[in-house]
A and B are shown apart, each in its own frame.
Chain A
Amino acid sequence: MTAEQWVRVKDEFDRARDAPTELRGHVLEAVSDEEVRHELEELLRAYDGSQEFLERPAILSASVLTTVNTAFGQRLGSYSLGRQVGEGGMGVVYEAIRADGEFERRVAVKIVKLWLTGERETARFRTERQILARLDHANIARLIDGGTTPDGLPFLVMEFVDGVRIDHYCNQHTLDIFQRLQLFRGVCEAVEYAHAQGIVHRDLKPANVLVMADGRPKLLDFGIAKVLDADAAQTATLTVSRPATPQYASPEQLRGEPTTPASDIYSLGILLYELLTGQSPYGGKACSLQTISRAVYEEEPPAPSVVTGNRTWRQNLDRIVSAAMQKDPAARYGSVTDLIADVDRYLSGAAVQAKRRSSRFWPPFSIRGASAVLLILAACIWIAKVGAPGFKSKSPFEQLYSEGMDRQQHFDWTAARSFFRRAIDADPKNPLGHYAYSAALHTLGYESLAQREAKLANELSSGLDQEKQLLIKGRYQEYTGDRANAAATYQKLWALNRNSPDYALRLAAAQTSAGAPTDALRTLDSIHSASKNTADTARADLQKARAYELLSKYQQELSDAESAAKAADAIGARELKAEALQVKGDALREMNRFDEAVNVYAESEAISREAGDLYEVASIENRLGGMYFNKGDYSALEVHANTALALFRQIDNKTAQASILNNLSLATKSRGDLAGALNMLEQAVAISRDAEDLHSQARELTNEGTILRRLGREADAKKAFQESLECAQRIGDRDQIARSHITLEILDRDDGDLRAALNESRTALNLLAESRAVALKALTLQHLGDDIHASGDAVGAKSALEQSLALARQANSRQLTADDEYMLADIAREQRDFKHAEELLKSAETYYSAQKQKVNLWDAWAAEARLQIVEQRAAGSETRIVEAIGGFHGVKDDARECGAYAVLMESYLAQHKLREASRAATNSGATCAATTEYDARMIYRIRSLQVRTALGDVPHAKQELESLTKELEEKGWGQLARKARLALRRGAFSASTI
């Protein structure tokens, strides 16, 4: 076929394809070219069958060609499909007849172009359908039924509405303005009804509103968008979610944020605009999502009065439309009811309530919310005012920058970020762009990017005046963890302008995080005396609550957080409220009011989730994880921690990711999975190293070293500990340096140098004198107590361990509590307070067994056996010890196995089972020689020498025990030295009683 012939085919095909069959014949007859005619004939014949062909994009096609068959006459359940009556982005609509013998009913069947990927999703589809089926309103087309086609595509069966699109209807019937408003009012009533049922339409547009023959409007597809929007509940995590009809979608929908009733109000505003003016508010722009989004985000549509030239609308209809179409959901009508009321006012000639809007889209500045990070925001706004004077002849940078500020004032951080980013593109050398961008990134939790931008801003800031320079510098210091210097910088800033509550708040926040809560409280009091502004005092209260937390004054923390939350609620500051609730939850948690804390956290999380603030949601999840960890509920911990981890990954907050991996590794380690725990820590260390986060790195390296040591990789462990200490020293973090000293204490004990070990644990405790890390203090005291005990001072050890126990309880750490109890039981036994010893052991055992911490449980069994031995109930005590030995052997814990063998020998000796005792000594020889822990090796030697004494080899054993005692005393192991001396006597006693 030639090109000319093909052009002819195209032309004729267009003309004939939609003509009735008989007319097609005429067209064909008129074609003289045989080849062209034949081609046309075939194509026209094929045309009827090809309607649905290729309409589903290839990837979506469960079956590419079978869609051809979804057509006339096909049955879906009890519905028989008729002609296709519509087609949209989501699916194809057929007229259909319900024909199950009982009665015939005309319905519309919508086959949806999407895959239900699994059972869960199918179930969700069904649930949503059932909810929608409850909508029963004269102006809403009912959802009757639904199901899945043989191809696996979902379909919905709806009431068949025989009507005309509302905008076409208005034009066809040349309705006047009052008739149009009446019609619109009918639409609103339907939406109002649905909202009362908790259902949002999500896709309101003229095509979804049909007017029936009797003049009543009927809404189609109510809530369908939600049914079809996969993962609607998790919209916040969807990166690409495309609203069904961009032209009618609200800014928040276009941004992919959760859809609320306010979004429907926006779409109603657009609909009203179109009914009033006959045109779309954003003109006849191309229908690409991007073009529309840009218009919706950035443009102000001309007022209806301007479009129509009807100036009388300026005081009423303009305001109604504008109030419905506000970019900011919170600035729109509070409900459809309010919108209807204003329409009614207009219809009855009364003044509408909607206020005149400023010439800009966004309502004038008002503080509706603020979060701690927002404290700098006010300073930002100030820079916006000072830095970009006048609004005339703005440079592209200034324009984008102030747009960003505008968004930021309304806490739309995502949009603000995007404007700042573009501002930087417009003028990469302007420090303000980087400064503002970093704040937006930080608020959204993009820590490393925020740091980078803050650094750039600081480097570029030399040309600015002092106030601005200080602001930029302070933020840079803050973001990079240089807290003390940040506080100093803000102190200077505040000195420049004492009247600024924002500077005071900034300073107080920096003081708090620099560990000077008392200074912070003093700074904050000045705000209370200076400002009457609710937002300022609410923020001050919140900051005070934080300071009290550092001072462990939880009751004050609670009451200040509560008053901040109340004030935030009163002024409608959502995010501030969420934050205040979070702090309130923290206070409750500290006060051991677990259930209340969980509830308050949930409330806070719900607000943040709704606001799309992933960082805050993740923070709460992390807190919940921590609470369950302390409670010993590891599976709950894992659920929350993994949720938080995923969210932090999404916003690229490295420090938080590392911290969660670290916590998870602790839980994994507690379960005895050392390799798993090590793996998590290695990940954490890599992340922290990548982020150059020395704090986290030091902490994780310590934990890594501990596990490596347990795995017998002493050299690697030492290396990890040393690296950790280096990190801690580089940042001068006393808590972390203390932790490193504790790890060194462990290594000293392994080397047998108890004096050095004692030195290390004392140093650690001294470093913690000012620390608020209660659990860390408890841990340090535990190690110190253990060392003192080993040195032979049971009384001193008891005092240290009891202090540790009190702190462990205060810190809600059941792990530390149980470990302390276990150690105190040992001392109680030595002091012959058997009852108390038993109680302590039982309490620890309860925890260990609940946690399935087998290793610790076996330890406790061995301790119980020793208790039986000294209480002279040794008979049978060996059973559990043998079991424990098997356990330790299984997990390759040489030191503990060796220690348990020592107890076993003790048991047999007490029962005068010398042969068994001797066998135990022989069997454990190799293991005990190999263990890296000095005291384990020593106790084995003591007991095996005791066995030899009992077997009659007194002179030789005596000589060895004497030299052993000497060595132990030299190295400071008083307790073991005493045991060695006693061994000689007891061994001889065992022998003599045979």
Chain B
Amino acid sequence: MVQEIREAREEPDESQDVTLLLAEWQKGDQRALDRLMPLVYDQLRRIAARYLHSERSGHTLQTTALVHEAYLRLVGENRIQWQGRTHFFGVAATLIRNILVDHARTQKALKRGAGIGKLSLDEAFAVPAENNAAILAVDDALRALSKIDPQQGRIVELRFFGGLTIEETAELLQISPSTVKRDWILAKTWIYRALSSSAIES
């Protein structure tokens, strides 16, 4: 019900943009993605901030719900087929990863006293400080894994950062759910191993 308003009042031009950019990106234009990112990033931040800092309690933050809402705000319902929507979830996963990692870095820098002055903190994603290291570690390991197996890397990004289910991930990557599941299990085992061994070494 609400997307109608948003579409009509808040972001009519942006909505057009996003639809177009998504379509272009689907056609393989990577520059479209670059332009898409800041729009989505901004929207996600705003929504997440509202969810997490909402005065009225009772909002549970579910990644897909969050992304879904961002999608509605940016694109509006009925504007684009499901295909576009899935791709959008794909973009969102990458974004959430960036946001969380950026935030974790800022926090880490702050802790050391290195961060000075203005914080472009995403309060929205203010996860407890002790987890920042964990997020950075996962991100590092994920980067390493992606070099060995890009598909597994992407699956982890979609599942862990994007909150997609096995089925949604399968639909997005155009592979079977059983493949996703198999890759997912190995990928997280791989990262788990990477993290436990690095923990021992340090």
Contact = CB atoms under 8 A, between A and B. Distances in A.
Interface of A: 1, 6, 10, 13-14, 17, 42-43, 45-47, 49-50, 53-54, 57-65, 68, 89, 114-115, 117-121, 124, 230-231, 234, 239-242, 286-288, 290-291, 414, 417-418, 421-422, 425, 441, 444, 446, 448-449, 614, 650-652
Contact of B63 (A60, A117, A449): A60
B125 A121 contact: no
The size bracket of the interface on B is 35 or more
24 contacts: A1-B148, A6-B149, A13-B189, A17-B189, A42-B193, A45-B193, A49-B196, A57-B62, A57-B159, A58-B100, A59-B63, A60-B163, A62-B131, A64-B127, A68-B192, A117-B57, A230-B59, A239-B3, A241-B65, A242-B68, A288-B82, A288-B171, A291-B82, A449-B8
A58 B5 contact: no
B186 A59 contact: no
Contacts of A46: 189-190, 192-193, 196
B117 interface: no
A780 B85 CA distance: 59
Contacts of B65: 240-242
Contacts of A414: 1
B128 interface: yes
Contacts of B3: 239
Given A65-B195, A240-B69, A59 B163 contact: yes
A230 B58 contact: yes
A291 B165 CA distance: 15
B58 A287 contact: no
Contact of B57 (A10, A114, A118): A118
B69 to A, nearest CB: 5
Interface string B48-81: 1000101001111111111011001000011000
A418 B9 CA distance: 18
Given A230-B60, A231-B59, A239-B3, A54 B8 contact: no
B160 interface: yes
Contacts of B161: 57-59
B8 A652 contact: yes
A47 B182 CA distance: 12
10 closest A-B pairs by CB: A57-B163, A118-B57, A46-B193, A50-B192, A652-B5, A231-B58, A64-B134, A57-B63, A287-B167, A230-B60
A63 B58 contact: no
B116 interface: no
Nearest to B56: A231
B29 interface: no
A49 B185 CA distance: 12
Contacts of A441: 4
Nearest to A446: B4
Contact of A10 (B97, B100, B160, B186): B186
A490 B177 CA distance: 59
Given A63-B130, A239-B72, A242-B64, A57 B162 contact: yes
B138 A64 contact: yes
B100 A59 contact: yes
B4 A58 contact: no
B96 interface: yes
A14 B179 CA distance: 11
Q: Which of A46, A89, A114, A240 has the most CB of B within 10 A?
A: A240
Nearest to B7: A449
Contacts of B182: 10, 14
Nearest to A10: B186
B93 to A, nearest CB: 9
A614 B4 CA distance: 15
Contacts of B196: 46, 49
B135 A64 contact: yes
B50 to A, nearest CB: 11
B79 to A, nearest CB: 9
B100 A53 contact: no
Interface in B142-179: 148-149, 156, 159-163, 165, 167-168, 171
Nearest to A233: B58
B191 interface: yes
B103 to A, nearest CB: 11
B4 A449 contact: yes
